Amino acid sequence: MKTYDGPVSDHFDGLHFFDPDGSPPKSLGEVLRWQLGGRGKREVWPEWAPSPYADTPPPRVEGDKVRLCFVGHASWLIQAGGLNILVDPVWSMRASPFSFAGPKRHNDPGIAFEKLPKIDVVLVSHGHYDHLDTATLSKLAAAFGPRVITPLGNDITMRAADSAIRAEAFDWHQRAELGSGLAVTLVPTRHWSARGLYDRNKALWASFVLETPGGKLYIVCDSGYGDGRHFRRVADAHGPLRLAILPIGAYEPRWFMQDQHMNPEDAVKALADCGAAQALAHHHGTFQLTDEAIDAPVIALGEALDAAKVPRERFLTLKPGQVFEI
């Protein structure tokens, strides 16, 4: 399969991407250790955990208002400046290369696909199946033909699945003008990427800083915490931030997950580091990727905020279909 081919840089060695300030992904042996005996107790999620909310978004949001709807897991609809932007859209039943196996949804998307407004732009952070869903991207291409902004190499994956997907690939620190005064910059994040066994880190991963009339939004779709430098650098380069979307789930067991996924305590530290005025949580409650219970991230986030003396209303958790407005 074709993969990214470009010049060597401080995070690309000619074949693989890497984070100079991160950690390499776990080996296959460590994956097997977790799956076959190194795990603690894997909590059982309810078969179906429906959200009491379902959103019907307006066609557009104008002025300096920003409307965010949590679709579920890491998927969001952001409406600002007359543009409609989806982040890591996954409407499929499974986050998997297979229709019959792999992590399955435990609730419906917070917006029914047919209730979506015209989508102008899609941001896709990296190639893991719970973030890059080619079936959804293909449906979006057919319905709306949006621009798809993604890190280097993921455009190849998208076009191989469907040539109609209008994928545009960018490197870390590159900025894309979206129109209507909006722009997005791709920024380093502590993670990795793969679609199969043989393409590990052959495509780049990123977080996003989205400039809107209502302020800058820092969208972290997947990240470990490390020593927090990734978050502090975004504050230095792009602050002040009006809002941060931070992951709080898929973190157990810690020996395996801590380099690639934050737990709620890490996410509270990340909020302090990036300095955003407000935070929204995601990456929890829809797909069971790891060992913690379905409600554990939300409970632990409240406890971590209390311990850090941060008001709980500064870092909110939404259910699919709930809306937050700036």
DSSP assignment string, 75-107: EEEEEETTEEEEES---SSBSSS-SSSS-BBSS
Tokens in use for 51?
Answer: 């959200």
Domain presence at residue 42:
no
pTM: 0.96
Residue 258 belongs to some domain of the structure = yes
Residue 166 lies in a domain: yes
The count of domains in the chain is 1
Other Cβ atoms within 10 Å of 35 Cβ, number: 11
Q: Residue 41's pLDDT is what?
A: 80
Among residues 83, 279, 35, 251, the alpha carbon closest in space to that of 179 is found at 83
156 vs 171: CA distance, rounded Å: 14
Residue linked to tokens 């993969």: 3
- 10 domain-assigned: no
Could you report the per-residue pLDDT of 130-147, keeping only the tens digit for each? 999 999 999 999 999 999
pLDDT digits (tens, 9 = 90+) for 280-291: 999 999 999 999
For residue 65, the domain's CATH number is 3.60.15.10
Domain that holds residue 173: 52-325
Q: What percentage of residues in the chain have a pLDDT greater than 70?
A: 97
Q: What is the CA radius of gyration of the chain?
A: 18
pLDDT tens-digit map of 71-92:
999 999 999 999 999 999 999 9
pLDDT at 40 exceeding the cut of 70: no
Question: SS3 of 243, please?
Answer: strand
Left if phi > 0, otherwise alpha if psi is -120 to 50, otherwise beta: which for 135?
alpha
Does a structural domain hold residue 119?
A: yes
Q: Which residues pair with 183 in a beta bridge?
A: 177, 211
Q: Please provide residue 173's backbone torsions phi and psi, each rounded to the nearest 5 degrees.
A: 75, 0
State the number of CA atoms in the 13 A half-sphere of 269 facing the CB.
13
Residues near 42 by Cβ (< 8 Å), separated by ≥ 6? 291
82 backbone dihedrals φ, ψ, rounded to 5°: 80, 5
